[in-house]
Structure 1
Amino acid sequence: MQTAHDYDVVVIGAGPAGEGAAMKLSKEGKKVAIVDARGQVGGNCTHVGTIPSKALRQTVFNIMRYQRDVMFQRVGELRNVPLSQVLARAHTIIEQQVAVHSRFYDRNEVDVYYGQAHFVDAQHLSIKTREGGTELLSFASAVLATGSRPYHPEDIDFSHPRVFDSDKILTLDYPVHKLIIYGAGVIGCEYASIFVGLGYKVDLINTQVQLLSYLDDEIADALSYYLRELGVLIRHQEQYERVETFDDCVVLHLKSGKKIKADAILWCNGRTGNTDNLALEAVGLQANSRGQITVDQQYKTAIPHIFAAGDVIGWPSLASAAYDQGRCAAAHILGVADTPRVEDVPTGIYTIPEISSLGKTEKQLTEERVPYEVGQAFFRHLARAQITGETVGMLKILFHRETLAILGIHCFGNNAAEIVHIGQAIMQQKNGGNTLRYFANTTFNYPTMAEAYRVAALNGLNRLF
């Protein structure tokens, strides 16, 4: 057998979960290697997911913002330009992120290998390098953090230039007037708001009864309303039958009998774990039908010395959660038995406007027969929102009528993903610190969006009797 490079831990995948695990392990003195098939660190998050899509969203948001200002009407000329031009800033940010994270590995003496990894046995990993050679690594423990990719139904030709998934869409290099987005989950809704902001006609096909049904109903309804206000045509409870492709268009055939013609289609219906090339059978592991790995409360797989974290284990499939899951898995490898599993993760949805939430929804509290009340602050009433012109949205606090404990924070509007963390910090307080009184009795800078917490708290207290 080829001579192996010996490591305490080998991490497969250099996205947020892999980085979280590798950094913690190396800082605790372990000899760590990280392997990534892409050829650059950062994972899908940096290269085709969170970073480029959010950078694209920010550019589109800036265009929309200035279009509302009569002083900047010429910005409207940017509409309907090829996506590659709008993405120029995103590519710069990707390069910056790769450089930053590469320095992290160098500084912490983590060995980085680029190539496709697969298990030889329960203690060895073989890497087919991008140069065509092979490397053999031995390990005492391993962390699977290979992420996920868009799910591809077998009957759809994703090699066609007018058929895209959420990775490929970032290579769109021709003008589009009408776009079909199939799948109205987080990614579908985000791209719907982005492309309608660029002046495209967008048909958003939702297989469910409503958008993002796990959100608080009021927030989900607000998202539907404002997407429609932007010009998105939402079609609920639809299922595809087939996709017909032509040189100059695509036609989506739905099981309801509808036929929708557009310049291109973006498929956003589900994701698949990147496990098919790992030779899991060599270590006695098996992925489910969506390529995902089952783990226990310690992120341990069925093989005690092999752990998994991030998108490859499924829900919640968020970069923020993945990083913490990787750190948690590393803690258990290190023997820190009381490390808690990553729970209570805030939802951040980067539509235009943003959505972020944490805790219970009104529907959940009603079903659980919890006596709750609601405090609301509408952004249109806040001086800061009026100054910036971003008056769409609201902050909603759900709290216990008797103890005033905060049970849920739901925010819809510009910078919602930032605003929610103020509520998150108070919700985490112990010994009676998590109550609405904090927001009612605390002085906030004026004018700020944070002031929404004081307004919502007083609004909620006024509902009590």
Structure 2
Amino acid sequence: MGNVTRIVIIGGGPGGYEAALVAAQLGAEVTVVDTDGLGGSAVLTDCVPSKTLIATAEVMTTFDSSYEELGILVADTETSSGSAGGPPVEQGASVIGVDLGKVNRRVKRLAIAQSHDITQSVTRAGVTVLRGRGRLGGGGQAVDGSREVLVDAPDGTVQSLRADAVLIATGAHPRELPDAQPDGERILTWTQVYDLEELPRELIVVGSGVTGAEFAGAYQALGSKVTLVSSRDRVLPGEDPDAAEVLEDVFRRRGMNVMGRSRAESVKRIGDRVEVMLADGKVIEGTHCLMAVGSIPNTSDMGLEEAGVKLNDWGQIQVDRVSRTSAPGVYAAGDCTGVFMLASVAAMQGRIAMYHALGDAVQPLNLKTVASNVFTDPEIATVGYTAADVECGKMDAVVVKLPLRGNPRAKMQGIRDGFVKLFCRPGTGIVVGGVVVAPRASELIHPISLAVDANLTVEQVASAFTVYPSVSGSTAEVARQLHIRKRSDGES
């Protein structure tokens, strides 16, 4: 047993539990220290819950936006009397509604079930799971090269562990503004919305990044009157500009009040109402306010800096491409590093850390092969180099964008918004990036991800068979157009 490498992982999110599985498979003695339950915020309060909520919203949006065009009949709402002895129906009212309490109970149930499944998988692999808050102790390495991890247990006791390598995977929590303190009832963070029993009548969403845009679109689809407050010129400032423009147009067309260049200064609750004060003095009123203004890494009071772990100005742990920190034997993965705040990247960082720590073959993290998705309606999926990379000269690429409105399957399904965009190198035609804006874009991006990862050319993408009719046929069509255009510069 003396030769077994001891691994201690602080944090049980995707970066932590995926690392634990790899380390156990490679024969290490693994302990995971976790506070809230395996899965972390990705499973318990963020990714899984929000996408479950969005799944309900997606059904509502699909029906509401295309049922007339597809010839689907709904109950007559022109009369104010209820049907079959039911309660009166308001004239012109929608016959489709949502029981938010029921939706949220399902959200929580699925999150807990997934956390349970992860815990079972990890413990079956031989990993020890300790409940408590982990931190680095001792300030430095021991004589034998090991490190001390202190675990503050819920009962107030402190346990000391020795580790040959430590992985910090503690995630992040919602950022709060001093003058907009959440109360969990009317002023909310994205972790608190699942306690709502009734749908917010008038929801103000502050912040138009991915989280803000996803929740704004979801609650609008569920029936809330939504105002989206964006401090930037447009929604999703970090995404493809063409994609963001499509989404903002869709939001406005569906009745959302999108306020650009509007910075929220404070949020106050007044009885059952909220008031959002903007920097220009304007006040917006609603029944609820959701704050989506970024996140803060969970790195404070962990003894990191005392142990030689460097943090940046935002408190994020600085790591290299194999997840090493500046302190020997200490690795970090996930949102606490701020590298790319996605569950898939956290998991990959965690796995890479264990491969490196345990002397296995390791491929350094390559962010230019990461596929990501914004779960709005339509969804926005991206991979590889972006329009911003091309514009600033970081990548020389030819770009073609093909709207979905000409796609036969899209026409059949009543899809009017969206496009497929590909980036390829001039001359060689190697695919270096892509964007898909469409329903289920998260599923449609995969062939482009494969092309980017395997350095495929547009000719190879174009020559692969696609099903007719299919939305994915547009990917092959864009590749065919790039085959013609690849020796020229410019964008279609």
TM-score (norm 2): 0.86
Q: Could you tell me whether the CA contact under 8 Å between 1:376 and 1:457 is conserved in 2?
A: no
User: For 1:64, which of 61, 65, 69 is the aligned residue?
Assistant: 61
Question: How many angstroms does 1:304 deviate by?
Answer: 0.8
Deviates most, 238-247 or 412-421: 238-247
- 1:365 is aligned to 390
User: For 1:267, which of 291, 296, 319 is the aligned residue?
Assistant: 291
How many residues of Structure 1 are paired with residues of Structure 2 in the alignment? 455
Cα distance in 2 for partners of 1:362, 1:301 equals 31
Q: Could you tell me whether the CA contact under 8 Å between 2:209 and 2:238 is conserved in 1?
A: no
Question: How many angstroms does 1:265 deviate by?
Answer: 0.8
Letter in 2 for 1:435: T
User: For 1:112, which of 129, 139, 143 is the aligned residue?
Assistant: 129
Cα distance in 2 for partners of 1:396, 1:426 equals 13
Question: How many angstroms does 1:238 deviate by?
Answer: 2.0
- 1:45 is aligned to 42
Cα distance in 2 for partners of 1:372, 1:301 equals 34
Question: How many angstroms does 1:371 deviate by?
Answer: 5.9
Letter in 1 for 2:117: V
Q: Could you tell me whether the CA contact under 8 Å between 2:451 and 2:461 is conserved in 1?
A: no
- 2:445 is aligned to 420
3-state SS in 1 of match to 2:335: helix
Cα distance in 2 for partners of 1:188, 1:26 equals 38
Letter in 2 for 1:263: T
Q: Could you tell me whether the CA contact under 8 Å between 1:311 and 1:322 is conserved in 2?
A: yes
- 1:96 is aligned to 113
- 2:11 is aligned to 13
Letter in 1 for 2:121: F
Q: Could you tell me whether the CA contact under 8 Å between 2:334 and 2:343 is conserved in 1?
A: yes
Cα distance in 2 for partners of 1:16, 1:399 equals 32
Question: How many angstroms does 1:164 deviate by?
Answer: 0.4
3-state SS in 2 of match to 1:449: coil
- Residues 66 and 223 of structure 1: is their aligned pair in 2 closer, same or farther, counting only changes over 3 Å? closer
Cα distance in 2 for partners of 1:170, 1:414 equals 25
Question: How many angstroms does 1:312 deviate by?
Answer: 0.2
Cα distance in 1 for partners of 2:16, 2:10 equals 7
Deviates most, 208-217 or 266-275: 208-217
Q: Could you tell me whether the CA contact under 8 Å between 1:376 and 1:455 is conserved in 2?
A: no
- 1:313 is aligned to 337
Cα distance in 1 for partners of 2:255, 2:335 equals 32
Asked if 1:233 corresponds to 2:257, the answer is yes
Cα distance in 2 for partners of 1:340, 1:287 equals 21
The answer for unaligned runs of 5 or more in structure 1 is: 1-5
Cα distance in 2 for partners of 1:306, 1:363 equals 34
Question: Where do residues 379-398 of structure 1 align in structure 2 (5 Å cutoff)?
Answer: 379-398=404-423
Asked if 1:142 corresponds to 2:139, the answer is no
The answer for unaligned runs of 5 or more in structure 2 is: 76-92, 141-146
Deviates most, 27-36 or 325-334: 325-334
Asked if 1:402 corresponds to 2:419, the answer is no
Question: Where do residues 162-181 of structure 1 align in structure 2 (5 Å cutoff)?
Answer: 162-181=186-205
Letter in 1 for 2:477: V
Cα distance in 1 for partners of 2:350, 2:396 equals 37
3-state SS in 2 of match to 1:310: coil
Cα distance in 2 for partners of 1:369, 1:8 equals 42
Cα distance in 2 for partners of 1:287, 1:402 equals 42
Asked if 1:334 corresponds to 2:358, the answer is yes
Which runs of at least 4 in structure 1 moved beyond 6 Å after TM superposition? none
3-state SS in 1 of match to 2:52: helix
Question: How many angstroms does 1:376 deviate by?
Answer: 3.5
Q: Could you tell me whether the CA contact under 8 Å between 1:147 and 1:273 is conserved in 2?
A: yes
- 2:216 is aligned to 192
Percent of aligned positions that are identical:
27
Q: Could you tell me whether the CA contact under 8 Å between 2:179 and 2:265 is conserved in 1?
A: no
Cα distance in 2 for partners of 1:429, 1:287 equals 34
Cα distance in 1 for partners of 2:363, 2:396 equals 32
Question: How many angstroms does 1:56 deviate by?
Answer: 0.6
Asked if 1:457 corresponds to 2:479, the answer is yes
Deviates most, 241-250 or 265-274: 241-250
- 1:3 is aligned to none
Please list the CA deviations of residues 162-182 of structure 1 after superposition, one character each: whole Å capped at 9, or x if unmatched: 110111122222332111111
Cα distance in 2 for partners of 1:87, 1:77 equals 21
3-state SS in 2 of match to 1:312: coil
- Residues 343 and 360 of structure 1: is their aligned pair in 2 closer, same or farther, counting only changes over 3 Å? closer
User: For 2:52, which of 47, 55, 58 is the aligned residue?
Assistant: 55
- 1:83 is aligned to 100
